[in-house]
Amino acid sequence: MAEGSKIRVRLVTPEKVLVDDTADAVELPATSGYMEVLYGHAPLMAELGSGDVTFHGLDGTEVTRYNVSWGFVEVLPERVTILANDALIPSAIDVPRAKEQRERGEALWNQAGDSAEAYVEANRVIHEAEAKLASAASKG
């Protein structure tokens, strides 16, 4: 692939800048569904839900994935910047803990009663845990 078609990517977490490099494409778990960003994409801002951020062709590697629980992305034609909370590589995911989290989410769901807010929170917890588990289970 020609050098010019690479897009600059940055993944920034509250603790540090995790990735600052170029890649061929990035897949993002936006709240409204996954999307893929290539060089020359129209400017865009979106909130990310829990899921995997996948970089293609980052630093010579084929695919690099990070699991995020929340994020925010700014896309410009030549640059993508992702703010993410606790970005984890799949092998670093603590599976028993994620399972525990799912159980806790389910318990929250059962206790939510009439409160819409509690349901939203329970949903978020379950969704986050499931995204983590799915990410840990899939290969590559």
Partner 1 sequence: MASVLDLRRRIRSVKSTRQITKAMKMVSAARLRRAQARAMAARPYAQMITSVLTSLIRRTEVIDPATGNLRHPLFMARPEKKILLIVVSGDRGFAGAFNGNILKAAYQFLGANEGKEFDLEAIGRKATDQFRRRYPAAVRVEQTSENPADFEPMTISRRERKAQIEVVGDHVGMLEKLNAENVFELAKDVIARFVHEEIDACYLVYNEFKSVIQQRVVVERLLPLFEIGKQQITGAIEPSKEEREAAAEAAVSAGVSLSAADTAEADTEAKKFGTAEVDYIYDESAEELFNGLLPKYVASMLFHALAESVAAEHAARMTAMDSATNNASDMIDSYTLQMNRLRQAAITKEIIEIVSGAAAV
Element (H or E) spanning 132, and its range? Answer: helix 116-137
Report the C-alpha gap between 80 and 66 in whole angstroms: 15
Dig out the tokens for 69 from the structure: 């629980």
From 38, 46, 93, 108, residue interacting with partner 1 (rule: CB under 8 A): 46
Tell the smallest beta-carbon distance from residue 80 to partner 1 (Å).
11
Answer for which of 72, 119, 123, 136 binds partner 1 (CB under 8 A) is: 72
Q: Which residue of 1, 3, 4, 15 would you call a contact of partner 1, by CB under 8 A?
A: 15
Does the footprint of partner 1 cover residue 16 (CB under 8 A)? yes
76: contact with partner 1 by CB under 8 A: yes
Give start and end residues of each alpha helix (H) in 5-67.
none
Whats the size of the chain, residue-wise? 140
Minimum Å distance from CB 62 to partner 1? 27
Contact assessment for residue 125 and residue 101, using Cβ atoms and an 8 Å cutoff:
yes
Tell me the DSSP string of 70-114.
Answer: EEEEEEETTEEEEEEES-B-GGG--HHHHHHHHHHHHHHHHH-TT
Of residues 84-123, those binding partner 1 (CB under 8 A): 85-86, 113-114
Which residues here bind partner 1, judged by CB under 8 A?
Answer: 12-17, 30-32, 42-47, 70, 72, 74, 76, 81, 83, 85-86, 113-114
